[in-house]
Structure 1
């Protein structure tokens, strides 16, 4: 998802998702969606907000990212127990995680093909399968 860097575009996006466009949500959404598809941690978004003179706490950034995820504006990508990235591309796709650099990127093309998924338990359905392929430089 890519928006022009205008408050009007972001306000419409938030309202369309059922969120009230508060000053902080609009400012964070402008930072998130004005740069095209990307993967960002809460800490990195908080740093961007500080540089852009957006007065927001790290806790507010986390809360806002989770709200955006709940309404489908972002996709959460967990790469480790405590390391989570938020993806502005909400379409079905998989990721590479560069361990040495702490960077998440989309796997190009059709990505990974999964065959023979297990049957879900009675009354349940599979909503999504997340694949993160971890990479690091080869040892010489």
Structure 2
């Protein structure tokens, strides 16, 4: 830990530093969940799946705490929320602008390659509002 390489990729950075940089206190539960989240590169994960991983890794954490932590990470800019149908929410470790395929039947979210979506016209935001970002979710399923 004493040798800290500055050119390592973001997800390889010490999660304690990452949490501090985002303005979050690095509690044991946050650090444990961050290690689970970011140890596998960019991915899309639900609170339930992360909770299962935490249980398997012997991290003593409730599903409610996992939800709260994911929302705190999202507010701090460490995760991006991808809502499907308003019933399923995935959290994306890649916070850069990009769009998603939702694979029906598998309940899986995958990135659409960068040049995969072109958006022609963007509506004017309502009075006093500004557009934060545009999320495109393309639903796909195997051909029958």
Q: TM-score, normalised by structure 2?
A: 0.90
Quote the Cα distance in structure 1 between the aligned partners of 2:49 and 2:93: 14
Q: Decide whether the 8 Å contact of 1:14 with 1:20 is kept in 2.
A: yes
Question: How far off its partner does 1:123 sit?
Answer: 1.8
Matched, 1:63 2:72: no
Quote the Cα distance in structure 1 between the aligned partners of 2:114 and 2:123: 25
Aligned residues: 135
Matched, 1:13 2:25: no
Q: Deviations over 1:55-97 (max 9, x none)?
A: 1000000000000000100000001221000000000000000
Cα RMSD, aligned residues only: 1.0
Gaps of 5+ in 2: 1-9
Q: Deviations over 1:24-83 (max 9, x none)?
A: 000000000111000000000000001100010000000000000001000000012210
Gaps of 5+ in 1: none
Q: How does 1:18-97 map to 2 (within 5 A)?
A: 18-97=23-102
Q: Which consecutive aligned stretches of 4+ in structure 1 deviate over 2 angstroms post-superposition? A: none
2:114 partner SS: coil
Q: TM-score, normalised by structure 1?
A: 0.93
